[in-house]
């Protein structure tokens, strides 16, 4: 199996809706490569932040034991360098302004799609790291630092763990054939029990995702019966 980066960004997630937290957000963010600790109360969040070195705190505004805005303000005071993303069921501008003024770096209205939340966290982590902006490569490539796909125009697409492994294969063999067997080996826990036709479904979903988020088509060409080629489309 392809190697996966070990130093996963550390997230503490505060969401009092147990089903949303346990069934959607935690597995979803884990699937995008984050190391996530989930809690249901402000008190539990403070304890989690005290015992876990976190990069980003994600917290719901509506909490059973505290006001989310006050929690954001307290977290910012305690940990000035942490990133804070607030989730709320209210989309009023006044609430967004209030959240940002209380220390939040980003404010998303629920139900927030996991891929949007993951992309928001990735963007926030880039800002926190103070990365110097560079001229985008004039080709499609996989950014192993941010675990995202980057288009020739610099647009990014947050990738799940499986998508990361697939794109790592294509990026390392740009313009060359990547066999279906190699892709299966990259994503499967057990290659003998893995249906190779699932690769076609993964590729199909990846193409749709890239087109939806970038407005550009991923130049990934199928070679019948063999595999796929990510074309090297340089733009001068």
User: Residue 3 falls within a domain, yes or no?
Assistant: no
Task: Kindly state the average pLDDT of the residues 166-170.
Answer: 89
Q: Is the pLDDT of residue 98 over 90?
A: no
CB atoms near residue 171 (< 10 Å): 18
User: Residue 1 falls within a domain, yes or no?
Assistant: no
Q: Is the pLDDT of residue 62 over 70?
A: yes
Q: Which value, to the nearest 10 degrees, does the dihedral of the CA atoms of residues 93, 96, 101, 106 take?
A: -140
Q: Is the pLDDT of residue 2 over 60?
A: no
Task: Kindly state the average pLDDT of the residues 74-79.
Answer: 86
Buried b (16+ CB within 10 A) or exposed e, 103-128: bbbbbbebebebbebbbbbbbbbbee
Do 145 and 118 lie in one domain? The reply is no
Owning domain of residue 211 = 141-230
Of 19, 24, 20, 18, the closest CA to residue 40 belongs to 18
- 85 beta partners: 58, 106
Q: Is the pLDDT of residue 3 over 70?
A: no
User: Residue 236 falls within a domain, yes or no?
Assistant: no
Give the model confidence (pLDDT) of 113-164 as tens digits: 898 899 899 889 888 876 444 445 667 888 877 778 888 877 778 888 889 8
Report how far apart, in Å, the C-alpha atoms of 4 and of each of 93, 171, 206 are.
Answer: 39, 15, 19
Do 122 and 150 lie in one domain? The reply is no
User: Residue 4 falls within a domain, yes or no?
Assistant: no
Do 123 and 155 lie in one domain? The reply is no
Higher pLDDT, 184 or 64: 184
The domain tally of the chain equals: 2
Percent of the chain with pLDDT over 70: 88
């Amino acid at each position: 199996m392809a190697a996966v980066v070990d130093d996963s960004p550390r997230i503490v997630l505060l969401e009092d809706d147990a089903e949303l937290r346990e069934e959607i957000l935690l597995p979803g963010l884990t699937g995008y490569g984050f190391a996530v600790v989930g809690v249901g109360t402000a008190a539990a969040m403070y304890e989690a932040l005290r015992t876990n070195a976190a990069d980003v705190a994600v917290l719901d505004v509506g909490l059973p034991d505290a006001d989310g805005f006050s929690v954001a303000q307290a977290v910012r005071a305690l940990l000035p360098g942490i990133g804070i993303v607030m989730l709320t069921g209210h989309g009023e501008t006044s609430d967004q302004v209030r959240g940002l003024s209380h220390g939040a770096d980003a404010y998303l209205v629920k139900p927030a799609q996991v891929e949007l939340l993951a992309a928001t966290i990735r963007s926030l982590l880039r800002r926190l790291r103070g990365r110097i902006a560079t001229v985008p490569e004039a080709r499609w490539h996989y950014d192993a630092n941010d675990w995202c796909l980057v288009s020739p125009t610099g647009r990014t697409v947050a990738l799940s763990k499986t998508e990361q492994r697939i794109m790592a294969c294509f990026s390392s063999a740009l313009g060359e054939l990547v066999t279906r067997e190699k892709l299966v080996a990259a994503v499967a826990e057990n290659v003998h029990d893995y249906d190779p036709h699932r690769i076609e479904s993964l590729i199909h979903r990846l193409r749709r995702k890239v087109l939806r988020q970038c407005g550009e088509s991923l130049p990934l060409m199928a070679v019948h019966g063999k595999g796929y080629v990510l074309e090297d489309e340089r733009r001068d």
